[in-house]
Chains A and B, each alone.
Chain A
Amino acid sequence: MDIVIASVGFGLVTASVLAIASVAFTMQFGITDVLNLSFGGVMIASAFIAYVVNNAGVNIWIGVLVAGVAGAIISYLINRFVLTPFKRRNTSPIGMVIVTLALGLILENLVLAVAGPNNVSYAMNSGPTLAVGAFELTALQIGMIALSLIIAGAIHALLRLTRLGKAMRATSCNAGLARASGIRTERVIASTWLITGALCGISGAAFAMNSGSFGSSSAELFLVVIIASVFVGGVGQPYGAMLGALLLGLVTEVSAAFITPDYKEVIAFIILLGVMALRPQGLIARATV
Chain B
Amino acid sequence: MSSGTIFYITTLLVYGGVDVVACLGLSLQFGTAGITNFGFIIYQAAGAYVAAVLSLPRDTANGGFQTYVLGLHLAFPLPWIGGAVAGGLLAIPAGLVVRRSLRPDFAGVSMLVTAVILNTVVDNFVPLFNGAAGVALVPSPLGNLFNPQSLKWQWMYSGIALFMCIVVLLVIRLITESPYGRSLRAMREDETAAKAVGKNTDRMRMTVLITGGAVAGLSGAILVGFINLWAPSAWTYPETIVLIAAVIIGGRGNHYGAILGAALVPLGFLEATRFIPAFGPAGLVPALEWIVTGLLILVFLWFRPQGVIPERRHRLARSLPAQAAAAVSGAAELATGPARGQ
Give the interface of A toward B (CB within 8 A).
35, 37, 82, 85-86, 91-99, 101-103, 105-106, 108-110, 112-113, 116-117, 216, 220-221, 223-224, 227-228, 235, 260, 262-263, 265-266, 269, 272-273, 276-277, 280-281
Contacts and interface: CB of A to CB of B under 8 A. Distances in A.
A109 B283 CA distance: 10
Interface residues of B, number: 44
B145 interface: no
A93 B241 contact: no
Given A99-B301, A269-B114, 20 more contacts: A86-B301, A94-B108, A98-B36, A98-B244, A98-B248, A102-B241, A102-B294, A105-B293, A109-B288, A109-B291, A113-B288, A116-B281, A216-B287, A224-B117, A227-B109, A260-B124, A262-B124, A265-B120, A266-B117, A272-B110
Determine which residue in B109, B116, B298 has the highest number of CB atoms from chain A within 10 A of its CB, and name it: B109
A86 B117 CA distance: 30
B65 interface: no
A124 B106 CA distance: 38
Contacts of B282: 117
B288 to A, nearest CB: 6
A115 to B, nearest CB: 10
B283 A117 contact: yes
Interface in B87-102: 96-97, 100-102
Contacts of B290: 105-106, 108-109, 112
B335 to A, nearest CB: 22
Nearest to B299: A102
Most A CB contacts (10 A, CB to CB) among B103, B280, B282, B301 go to: B301
Given A35-B105, A97-B105, A109-B287, A276 B100 contact: yes
26 contacts: A35-B109, A85-B302, A86-B301, A94-B104, A97-B38, A97-B108, A98-B248, A102-B241, A103-B294, A105-B241, A109-B288, A109-B294, A110-B287, A112-B287, A116-B283, A220-B237, A227-B109, A228-B113, A262-B124, A265-B116, A269-B113, A269-B114, A272-B110, A273-B97, A276-B110, A281-B102
A98 B301 contact: yes
Contacts of A269: 113-114, 117
A89 to B, nearest CB: 8
A35 B106 contact: yes
